[in-house]
Structure 1
């Protein structure tokens, strides 16, 4: 199986763009993912942080990520997200270009999808942008 993807990645060349925030703040998922290049990232960095407007995925970093729970061998963020948002699972899940390889879906199933479309990554700490 291919590596599982983190659906909360930063904008970087090689990342997969799979969603765009709409005017209501929800994520509209692309039917086909787009692998972004350096030009896209540079252009997207003009204005508001791209992570606050788009959803990117890249290979799950596992123990290289602060959200990795080695005891459960999984991402602790998705469990917190599902618990905090507690959205009901719809009978039909929205189209999602990364679901088959999504770390969150593999861990939490449809519950992850039900709570995913309002997630945008905020990489600002104390008003300063943080680079990763």
Structure 2
């Protein structure tokens, strides 16, 4: 990692400049479960077309450079989204799994493995998110 300015957000939309695909979301008992790719893959129209009528951010996980002050979840120092996810969600992964972006992931650098333990249950886009996810995803209120 070469500094905070190079940290990646692990929950961006595929339209984000420089986005890479690093996970595939499936559903287990109606809940998201992410399977990780061995290496990040640049986003292409062909990859996005594989999702058909389903929004890509509902079934794929993308990462890109953290937008920091341009993001509704950034408070000037930290990502409030990952802090809320750690507080709101139970851990689902209890072993360190391979992750192609962990070394540069803002969530990991901020919350450590507590973020990783919850990351595999996150789909960037949900049609009907649970109340805890809806609350965690609310924008940070700047004063």
The residue correspondences of 1:1-132 to structure 2 (distance < 5 A) are: 1=2, 3-12=6-15, 14-24=18-28, 25-41=32-48, 43-44=49-50, 46-70=52-76, 73-87=77-91, 90=94, 92-122=95-125
TM-score, length-scaled by structure 1: 0.82
**CA RMSD for the aligned pairs?**
2.1
**Structure 1: gaps (5+ residues):** 126-132
| Distance in 2 separating the partners of 1:19 and 1:84 | 22
Question: Of Structure 1 and Structure 2, which has the larger fraction of its residues in helix?
Answer: 2
Secondary structure of 2:41's counterpart equals strand
**Structure 2: gaps (5+ residues):** 129-143
Q: List structure 1 runs of 4+ shifted beyond 3 angstroms.
A: none
The Cα shift of 1:19 comes to 0.3
| Distance in 1 separating the partners of 2:56 and 2:50 | 5
- Count of residue correspondences: 121
